[in-house]
Amino acid sequence: MKFVTLKIFQNTVQLNFISISISISISISISISISISISISISISISISISISISISISISISISISISISISISISISISISISIK
Protein backbone atom coordinates (compact mmCIF):
# COMPACT_ATOMS: atom_id res chain seq x y z
CA MET A 1 0.00 0.00 0.00
CA LYS A 2 1.14 3.50 -0.74
CA PHE A 3 0.42 6.44 1.46
CA VAL A 4 0.15 9.91 -0.02
CA THR A 5 0.66 12.93 2.17
CA LEU A 6 -0.85 16.21 1.03
CA LYS A 7 0.10 19.47 2.66
CA ILE A 8 -2.24 22.47 2.64
CA PHE A 9 -0.65 25.87 3.09
CA GLN A 10 -2.67 28.72 4.58
CA ASN A 11 -5.75 29.49 2.46
CA THR A 12 -5.17 26.88 -0.23
CA VAL A 13 -8.14 24.55 -0.67
CA GLN A 14 -7.69 21.30 -2.50
CA LEU A 15 -10.66 19.56 -4.11
CA ASN A 16 -10.55 16.06 -5.50
CA PHE A 17 -13.15 15.19 -8.14
CA ILE A 18 -13.51 11.76 -9.69
CA SER A 19 -15.96 11.07 -12.50
CA ILE A 20 -16.71 7.55 -13.70
CA SER A 21 -18.80 6.95 -16.81
CA ILE A 22 -19.89 3.50 -17.92
CA SER A 23 -21.64 2.94 -21.25
CA ILE A 24 -23.02 -0.43 -22.34
CA SER A 25 -24.44 -0.93 -25.83
CA ILE A 26 -26.10 -4.16 -26.96
CA SER A 27 -27.15 -4.66 -30.58
CA ILE A 28 -29.09 -7.71 -31.73
CA SER A 29 -29.84 -8.29 -35.42
CA ILE A 30 -32.02 -11.14 -36.65
CA SER A 31 -32.46 -11.84 -40.36
CA ILE A 32 -34.83 -14.49 -41.70
CA SER A 33 -34.99 -15.33 -45.40
CA ILE A 34 -37.54 -17.76 -46.86
CA SER A 35 -37.45 -18.77 -50.52
CA ILE A 36 -40.11 -20.98 -52.13
CA SER A 37 -39.80 -22.19 -55.71
CA ILE A 38 -42.52 -24.22 -57.46
CA SER A 39 -42.06 -25.65 -60.95
CA ILE A 40 -44.84 -27.48 -62.83
CA SER A 41 -44.24 -29.16 -66.16
CA ILE A 42 -47.02 -30.81 -68.17
CA SER A 43 -46.35 -32.73 -71.37
CA ILE A 44 -49.10 -34.18 -73.55
CA SER A 45 -48.33 -36.37 -76.52
CA ILE A 46 -51.02 -37.65 -78.88
CA SER A 47 -50.23 -40.14 -81.61
CA ILE A 48 -52.77 -41.29 -84.20
CA SER A 49 -51.88 -43.98 -86.69
CA ILE A 50 -53.66 -45.17 -89.82
CA SER A 51 -54.84 -48.39 -88.23
CA ILE A 52 -57.14 -46.42 -85.94
CA SER A 53 -54.95 -46.60 -82.92
CA ILE A 54 -54.88 -43.59 -80.61
CA SER A 55 -52.19 -43.24 -78.04
CA ILE A 56 -52.25 -40.44 -75.47
CA SER A 57 -49.40 -39.89 -73.07
CA ILE A 58 -49.59 -37.32 -70.28
CA SER A 59 -46.64 -36.55 -68.09
CA ILE A 60 -46.86 -34.19 -65.13
CA SER A 61 -43.84 -33.17 -63.12
CA ILE A 62 -44.05 -30.99 -60.01
CA SER A 63 -40.99 -29.75 -58.18
CA ILE A 64 -41.15 -27.77 -54.93
CA SER A 65 -38.08 -26.30 -53.29
CA ILE A 66 -38.13 -24.48 -49.93
CA SER A 67 -35.07 -22.76 -48.50
CA ILE A 68 -34.99 -21.10 -45.05
CA SER A 69 -32.01 -19.11 -43.83
CA ILE A 70 -31.76 -17.60 -40.32
CA SER A 71 -28.91 -15.32 -39.28
CA ILE A 72 -28.48 -13.92 -35.73
CA SER A 73 -25.82 -11.37 -34.88
CA ILE A 74 -25.18 -10.08 -31.32
CA SER A 75 -22.75 -7.25 -30.62
CA ILE A 76 -21.91 -6.03 -27.09
CA SER A 77 -19.78 -2.94 -26.52
CA ILE A 78 -18.68 -1.77 -23.04
CA SER A 79 -16.91 1.54 -22.55
CA ILE A 80 -15.56 2.74 -19.17
CA SER A 81 -14.18 6.25 -18.76
CA ILE A 82 -12.57 7.53 -15.54
CA SER A 83 -11.70 11.19 -15.20
CA ILE A 84 -9.74 12.55 -12.23
CA SER A 85 -9.47 16.29 -11.83
CA ILE A 86 -7.42 17.85 -9.03
CA LYS A 87 -7.79 21.56 -8.40
Stretch 44-64: mean pLDDT, rounded? Answer: 83
The SS3 call for residue 10 is coil
Query: Is residue 75 predicted with pLDDT exceeding 50?
Result: yes
Q: How many C-alpha atoms does 6 have within 13 Å on its Cβ side?
A: 8
Stretch 51-78: mean pLDDT, rounded? Answer: 84
pLDDT in tens, 10-45: 554 444 566 777 777 788 888 888 888 888 888 888
- Distances from the Cα of 55 to the Cα of 12, 43, 49, 52, 79, angstroms: 115, 14, 9, 10, 80
Cα 79 from Cα 21, distance rounded (Å) = 8
Number of helices followed by number of strands (H, E) in the chain: 0, 2
For 6-20, 35-49, 52-66, which range has the lowest pLDDT when averaged over its residues? Answer: 6-20
Domains of the chain, by residue range, sit at 16-86
pTM of the model: 0.37
The confidence score (pLDDT) of residue 3 equals: 47
